Amino acid sequence: MRYSSLNRFTIKVQSLKFNVHPGSTETKFKVSNSSFNHSPILLFKHFTVHSFFHRTIIPLLLFLIFSINTTRADEGMWVPLFLKQINEKSLIERGLKIPVEKIYSDTGTSLKDAVVLFGGGCTGEMISDQGLLLTNHHCGYSTIQSHSTVENDYLTHGYWAMNAEQELPCPGLTVTFIIRMEDISGLIFRELNDSMSEAERETKIKTVSDVFINKATEGTHYDASVRSFFNGNQFILFVTEKFKDIRLVGAPPSSIGNFGGDTDNWMWPRHTGDFSLFRIYSGKDNKPAEFSKENIPFKPRHFFTISLKGVSENDFTMVYGFPGRTQKYLSSHAVNLIQNTIDPGRIQIRQQRISLMEQGMKISDTVRIKYSSKQKGLSNAYKKWQGEVAGLKRLKTVDKKREMESLYMEKMIASGRPDLAQLIEMLDSSYTAAKIYLSASDYYNEAAMGIEVLAFANGFRKLSAMSAKSPEDKNAWNDEIEKLKKSADGFFKNYDSRVDEKVFSALLNLYLDNVDQRFLPVQFLKDVQNNKVGVEKLRQQIFTSSMFASEKKLNEWLSAARPGQTNRILQDPAYKLASAITGAHQQKVSGELSKLNERINILNRQYLDALLMIPSSKNFYPDANSTLRVAYGQVMGYAPRDAVKYDFKTSLDGVMEKEDDSNEEFIVPEKLKELYQKKDFGRYGVNQTMPVGFIASNHTTGGNSGSPVINAYGQLIGTNFDRVWEGTMSDLDFDPDQCRNITLDIRYTLFIIDKFAGCKRLIDEMSFAE
């Protein structure tokens, strides 16, 4: 039965009845006397695309019967488009007090209209009708750093725009809204067939997607994209609106916004005031516009009302944002590889990079400011990977997945599908083959290209290649030179060769010691082994003579360079080393890894496709892929280990308990101490205490930083900024007893803005529910 031949059909299996309308995004079905709604595209992909009705529909119906009432609200990052069909009953049971349509709607305003993708990897929320935007301090960190100098150190001292004229433009920063979403899976799948190669499949998917993208954006200022879900088993169109005139409005000092530093990162209890404020500006027509002094504050379609009531244990909470990446459906072999090879290798490299970078940052305040954002980014993942490994081992995730895979293979064989049973063995062999290439790739990216001068020099490979073309394209050459000039400005703004030199020898030696010799540049390897060009000799050559380590030398060359004149690049020691390493990597690693990854991706798609046919006690949700999602759960503490139990909330009392003037991570500003001693908390305090943070069971990951945390009435109660360390394995395996998201209580944010910064004009913009 083909999808395109269907008009309407009804299927009865005992007491189960389905009514399916092709092209619809909703299927109505009944089990006994209960009604549910579900997207048909995913559930009926098999029999609408393939003719093997008998092998799929019965298991799918069983899967639905077993799973529909047993989904845990805590686990899952749900696509808002399907909340009505999939999650409405669970949301109401958990305590939601507003209609689900108020969370997501294509036709009317909803909470989704107040949620934005901030930059390229965080979330933000609108908190006024004048374009005021709230996100995390660490999300705005690089922007705050870009405005900071030794004279005006906004990272250390904070920044508050006391009027509109003081709001600082942030070139390159963007904010993106979701206008609408549409499931186009059925219309894509009817153009696909099993005889297609992977390349043909991807081409066809792109061709069909482009039709929808063009139709969705024609005559508008919107953008659109089609994103893949469930490893290529579902496709959703996203129509978006991107704003480019974003201005910094306020940021607390690092002693508040980064209180606890690396020591407290990923930990609970937490006392960090992790927030910053920006404003979106638009043209006078309220549409996106390039920066201009004539632009006006943007009027959002919706903004959050802020609740001052606070939270109690077991309260309903919801996180609305753009989670970056999870890998829930990996095989046991893949998780084993992450746990015992990939993460340990990355941890080893990051440990060296961070330690040496921190030593270099002590040279001066100028260097500290240059490297503060880099160091923070490196440390964040470093500590997360450590928690991930510990969590996977504690949960015995690899063993659990092996048990599930054994069950899967038994069921596939019993159902007459030994070909699907073989997917596990095929995945295992593919990951085994890929292991050495994956490790080499990590050491290339993290170690070799972790040396900044080499990574920067690598960016000139295109210019070098252009000189070999005949005849020379002068316009292309000049365009590339201009791009490289801008790149150089950005690079040297946050670069110090003395720091990079400290890192160079350690990382290059790590690369040489841990990458299979077959993947290294042959001549370079021979020279090192013969001591003709040792690592220390290379370090001296590069940091004394390479123009890529000197802003003055490079700018002089860029200003004088003419088409075809690349000998200076080709003879530069940093470029020669970077080019040799990259060339060997591309020739010996990238190609093979690309082939293996393509095979793994196909197998993972087929495996997940088959998993959907097995009756399960859990529902399936798509892995995070930086698209808009909803997670929901309850405010609650947790017990990380024997005889230890954490409360769900923290207060300013804990800040004072942690105060340590001898440790820059735990310095408390004098004004904050004064406010605390006077108990001058304004309307934000409760019973002579000032709430700071709380934890809940929402399923979050990177990208959820800055996400609004919302109560049952759709009101803002906080800003998500982290997970607890014991739950960082949640990208791969969710433990409802240990996984908690950490939220900055909105009352602490308001207290800092109002009482600490004295920026009452921002408070006056907001709307409150007492």
- Kindly list the catalytic residues: 138, 274, 705
Q: Are 694 and 635 contacting, i.e. CB atoms less than 8 angstroms apart? A: yes
CA angle 251, 253, 258 (to 5 degrees): 95
Cβ–Cβ < 8 Å for 133, 212: no
Phi/psi for 167 (5° steps) reads -75, 125
Cβ atoms of 306 and 277 closer than 8 Å: no
Q: Which of these, 639, 633, 659, 635, lies nearest to 649 by C-alpha position?
A: 635
Q: Are 690 and 682 in contact (CB under 8 A)?
A: no
Q: How far is CA 672 from the centre of its chain?
A: 32
Task: Outline where DSSP puts E strands in 23-108.
Answer: 27-31, 34-38
| Cis amide prior to 269 (ω within 30 degrees) | yes
Distances in Å between the Cα of 231 and the Cα atoms of 80, 469, 514, 598, 634 are 19, 40, 31, 12, 29
DSSP conformation letters of 584-612: HHIIIIIHHHHHHHHHHHHHHHHHHHHHT
- Cα–Cα distance measured from residue 672 to residue 573, given in angstroms and rounded to the nearest whole number: 51
Q: Which residue has the tokens 């095979």?
A: 599
Dist. CA 268–CA 434, nearest whole Å: 37
Query: In sequence order, which residues have a C-beta less than 8 Å from that of residue 528 and are 6 or more positions away?
Result: 512, 534, 535
Q: Which two tokens stand for residue 616?
A: 């399960």
State residue 243 phi and psi, 5-degree precision. Answer: -110, 140
Burial 32-43 (b: 16+ CB within 10 A, else e): eeeebbbbbbbb
DSSP string, 642-702: TTEEE-SEEEHHHHHHH--TTSGGG---HHHHHHHHHT--GGG-BTTB-EEEEEE-----T
Separation CA 114–CA 80 (nearest Å)? 14
- Rounded Cα distance, 26 and 212, in Å: 19
Strands (E), 112-216: 115-118, 122-126, 132-135, 159-160, 168-169, 175-183
Provide the 3-class DSSP secondary structure of residue 637.
coil
